[in-house]
């Protein structure tokens, strides 16, 4: 990658069973489109957990981290709709991170996603390590894309219901693949190379995605 890295808003949460229908309606009918319409945003993608972690994950890709400092985003973030305020209040154990997308190998959007929390290290060392790992993963069937998500401490302000205690902004490895079997196999290979227990990897299935091109067409 050249120039400024893409940005990524990473939001994961659980939700009470009785609130799921309204929560998903809010995300699908209002929130994703609202965010993707913010200048600098490229896509909004929803996932649901297959193994470990919070049940729902939303990823919003942006042109750069600067997209999260714009007047338009600040207005969207601070002037929530009543439906948004109510939905954010229903989140259980939410997690919000604003990350730089670095050390990218491959291209496209996979149907399955593995997320692995990493041990903090010097940024350049970590990027080199994940780039090298990406070239190994890319040789495997079902691989689509891998990247390093590096949280920005200043931009990763917590959600209303997010705990402030022991809030660790850990870098994350994200592996996208084309099948559930490839997701499992690639995450196991990555964890083995990184000396991380395979059970710690989180697995998600793609729900749906909205891009800026679709909104402008």
Is 184 inside any structural domain?
yes
Answer yes or no: are the C-beta atoms of 89 and 162 closer than 8 Å.
no
How does pLDDT run across 187-214, given as a tens digit for each residue?
999 999 999 999 999 999 999 999 999 9
How does pLDDT run across 54-97, given as a tens digit for each residue?
999 999 999 999 999 999 999 988 889 999 999 999 999 999 99
Task: Return the pLDDT at 1.
Answer: 41
* Distance linking the first and last C-alpha atoms of the chain: 27
Task: Return the pLDDT at 167.
Answer: 87
Answer yes or no: are the C-beta atoms of 175 and 183 closer than 8 Å.
yes
pLDDT score of 185 more than 70 = yes
Q: Look up the CATH number of the domain holding residue 180.
A: 3.30.70.100
Can you list the alpha helix ranges (DSSP code H) found in 55-98?
71-78, 82-90
Residue span of the structural domain in which 182 resides: 6-216
Average pLDDT, the chain: 95
How does pLDDT run across 98-120, given as a tens digit for each residue?
999 999 999 999 999 999 999 99
Count of other CB atoms within 10 angstroms of residue 69:
14
**SS3 label, residue 100:** strand
**Number of domains forming the structure of the chain:** 1
Distance in angstroms (rounded) separating the CA atoms of residues 212 and 30: 15
Q: What's the pTM?
A: 0.95
Task: Return the pLDDT at 217.
Answer: 58
Distance in angstroms (rounded) separating the CA atoms of residues 181 and 203: 11
Is 33 inside any structural domain?
yes
Is 17 inside any structural domain?
yes
Task: Return the pLDDT at 3.
Answer: 64
Is 1 inside any structural domain?
no
**Residue percentage of the chain with pLDDT more than 70:** 98
Task: Return the pLDDT at 2.
Answer: 46
């Amino acid at each position: 990658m050249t120039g400024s890295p893409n940005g990524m808003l990473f939001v994961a949460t659980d939700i009470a069973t009785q609130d799921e229908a309204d929560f998903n309606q809010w995300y699908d009918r209002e929130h994703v489109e609202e965010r993707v319409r913010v200048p600098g945003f490229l896509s909004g993608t929803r996932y649901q957990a297959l193994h470990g972690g919070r049940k729902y994950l939303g990823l919003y890709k942006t042109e750069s981290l600067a997209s999260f400092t714009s007047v338009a985003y600040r207005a969207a973030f601070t002037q929530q709709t009543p439906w948004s305020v109510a939905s954010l209040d229903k989140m259980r154990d939410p997690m919000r991170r604003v990350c730089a997308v670095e050390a990218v190998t491959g291209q496209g959007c996979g149907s399955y996603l593995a997320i692995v929390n990493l041990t903090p290290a010097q940024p350049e060392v970590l990027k080199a390590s994940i780039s090298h790992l990406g070239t190994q993963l890319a040789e495997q069937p079902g691989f689509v894309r891998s990247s390093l998500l590096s949280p920005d401490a200043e931009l990763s302000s917590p959600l209303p219901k997010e705990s402030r205690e022991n809030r660790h902004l850990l870098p994350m490895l994200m592996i996208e693949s084309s099948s559930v079997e490839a997701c499992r196999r690639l995450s196991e290979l990555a964890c083995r190379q990184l000396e991380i227990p395979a059970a710690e990897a989180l697995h998600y299935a793609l729900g749906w995605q909205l891009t800026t091109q679709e909104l402008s067409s």
